[in-house]
């Protein structure tokens, strides 16, 4: 019996819905897959399942009341969201934070960047089967959760910044605890590097997987480690220094191939740079107040509230009426764990924004995900999606 090999034996593509409730989705996102066997022919990514109306909700709340809502965007590194938002409002008001406030914002932002990268890489390796490796990342992350709790009183959602400064200063002993945490983190990261960086099983799952070119990354508007993995050395902290980033030295790690392995290496290298920034900022931390001395934006000392009529009136006004930025618009930005997080705010002179538009960095990455997945195997979805670091609250707002 002979078989005519010239006949087209092609079968119909299989349509598979992955998500929205799937353990590898890091939240609730749906990917419609068209498969030829186990090869992905095309993928249609459908975000939006965690949309909570953040931008519309901002229009019904006063300027400082919005700070806790920004925590719920990227809830893995929420303080960076706080900083980006209040910088937009401060730009609108024409006020500049104190030098000590700028340095503290840098220190705690970098601690949040560490928790973001540790969570991202740790979850990614766990989904590839390396649960013990995940525990190393969690152990290091716990150090910074404890530090953030000592400052803000919370482990995840901080609401620590205020227009014109912050809620309060760092506690006594914070610097010594920070240096100890950095020393322990470096030790843990060295062990992690030995476990994964040259591990053949790990390399087989991530090298040349999820490749994106620098041209495509730029055209999609991608920023952060995902862009830098393609070789583009763009970082908001260097390109447009804010707070005290212009006063510290650090490098921008970049990759070459734009694959999952390069994204892993970039995040690992960025953690070392974050610790380097923290050490410099702690060493240069200036004395002085953490809030601007302007009664239009900052609460008076509690003693003044109890003993002077002016202090009581000012406290009452800020609680019930909040700040009144002048009519206009401004854009505040920061380098988040996933890239540039931006807030565009519009004021009509009242105590509530007319508009508060968010630029979520992982939204542009997820927009490119369908193109990245094409041609890969179904099993490759897990490492690719893990390297995206999709945060549902940030993407869907």
User: Worst-scoring range by mean pLDDT, 117-131, 246-260, 291-305?
Assistant: 291-305
**CATH numbers and ranges of domains, the chain:** 14-396 (1.10.645.10)
Phi, psi (deg, nearest 5) at residue 328: 155, -165
Q: Reduced to 3 DSSP states, what percent helix, strand and coil does the chain have, rounded to the nearest 5?
A: 50, 10, 40
Checking if the pLDDT of 305 tops 80, the result is: no
pLDDT for 8: 59
Write down the mean pLDDT value for the chain.
Answer: 85
155, 184 contact by CB (below 8 A): no
pLDDT for 13: 80
Q: What is the mean pLDDT of residues 356-372?
A: 87
Among 6-15, 95-104, 295-304, 308-317, the range with the most confident prediction by mean pLDDT is: 95-104
User: Worst-scoring range by mean pLDDT, 105-114, 181-190, 287-296, 340-349?
Assistant: 287-296
165, 292 contact by CB (below 8 A): yes
CB atoms within 10 A of CB 94: 10
pLDDT for 26: 64
Q: What is the mean pLDDT of residues 325-346?
A: 89
pLDDT for 114: 92
Checking if the pLDDT of 277 tops 90, the result is: yes
Checking if the pLDDT of 377 tops 90, the result is: no
Model confidence band, residue 344 (pLDDT cutoffs 50, 70, 90): very high
SS3 of 113-164: the string is HHHHHHHHHHHHHHHCCCHHHHHHHHHHHHHHHHHHHHHHCCCCCCCCEECC
Checking if the pLDDT of 24 tops 80, the result is: no
Percent of the residues in the chain that have a pLDDT greater than 90, as a whole number: 14
pLDDT for 22: 65
Helix (H, G, I), strand (E, B) or coil at 45: strand
pLDDT for 381: 86
Checking if the pLDDT of 10 tops 70, the result is: no
Tell me how far apart the alpha carbons of residues 383 and 166 are, in angstroms, rounded to a whole number: 38
pLDDT for 112: 92
pTM greater than 0.85: yes
Burial of residue 265 (CB within 10 Å: 0-12, 13-18, 19+) is buried
- Residue in 280, 311, 342, 349 with CA at minimum distance from that of residue 107: 280
pLDDT for 23: 62
Checking if the pLDDT of 232 tops 70, the result is: yes
How does DSSP assign 370-392, residue by residue?
A: HHHHTTSBGGGHHHHHHHHT--H
pLDDT for 106: 92
pLDDT for 163: 86
Checking if the pLDDT of 278 tops 90, the result is: yes
Checking if the pLDDT of 267 tops 60, the result is: yes
**219 CA to centre of own chain:** 21
Phi, psi (deg, nearest 5) at residue 188: -65, -45
pLDDT for 204: 86
Burial of residue 310 (CB within 10 Å: 0-12, 13-18, 19+) is exposed
CB atoms within 10 A of CB 142: 14
Q: What is the mean pLDDT of residues 233-243?
A: 89
Model confidence band, residue 9 (pLDDT cutoffs 50, 70, 90): low
């Amino acid at each position: 019996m002979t078989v005519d090999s010239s006949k087209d034996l092609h079968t119909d593509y299989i349509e598979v819905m992955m998500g929205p409730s799937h353990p590898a989705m890091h939240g609730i996102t749906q990917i419609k897959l068209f498969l030829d066997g186990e090869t992905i022919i095309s993928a249609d990514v459908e975000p939006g399942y965690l949309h909570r109306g953040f931008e519309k909700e901002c229009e019904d709340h006063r300027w400082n009341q919005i700070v806790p809502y920004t925590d719920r965007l990227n809830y893995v590194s929420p303080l960076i969201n706080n900083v980006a938002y209040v910088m937009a409002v401060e730009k609108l008001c024409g006020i500049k934070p104190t030098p000590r406030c700028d340095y503290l914002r840098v220190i705690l932002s970098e601690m949040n960047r560490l928790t973001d990268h540790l969570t991202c890489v740790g979850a990614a390796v766990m989904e590839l089967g390396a649960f013990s490796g995940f525990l190393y990342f969690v152990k290091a992350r716990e150090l910074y959760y404890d530090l953030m709790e000592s400052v803000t009183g919370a482990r995840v959602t901080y609401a620590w910044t205020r227009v014109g400064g912050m809620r309060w200063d760092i506690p006594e002993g914070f610097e010594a605890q920070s240096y100890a945490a950095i020393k322990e983190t470096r030790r843990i990261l060295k062990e992690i590097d030995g476990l994964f960086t040259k591990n053949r099983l790990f390399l087989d799952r991530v090298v040349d997987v999820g490749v994106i070119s620098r041209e495509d990354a730029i055209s999609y508007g991608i920023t952060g480690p995902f862009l830098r993995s393609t070789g583009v050395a763009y970082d908001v902290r260097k390109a447009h220094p804010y707070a005290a980033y212009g006063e510290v030295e650090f490098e921008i790690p970049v990759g070459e191939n734009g694959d999952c392995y390069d994204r892993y290496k970039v995040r690992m290298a960025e953690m070392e740079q974050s610790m380097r920034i923290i050490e410099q900022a702690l060493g240069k931390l200036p004395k002085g107040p953490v809030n601007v001395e302007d009664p239009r934006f900052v609460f008076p000392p509690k003693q003044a509230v109890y003993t002077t009529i002016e202090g009581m009136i000012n406290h009452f006004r800020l609680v019930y009426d909040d700040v009144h930025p002048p009519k206009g618009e401004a854009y505040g930005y920061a380098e988040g764990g996933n890239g540039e997080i931006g807030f565009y705010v519009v004021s009509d002179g009242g105590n509530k924004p007319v508009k508060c538009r968010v630029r979520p960095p992982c939204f542009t990455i997820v927009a490119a995900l369908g193109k990245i997945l094409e041609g890969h195997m179904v099993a490759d979805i897990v490492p690719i999606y893990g390297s995206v670091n999709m945060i549902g609250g940030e993407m869907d707002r």
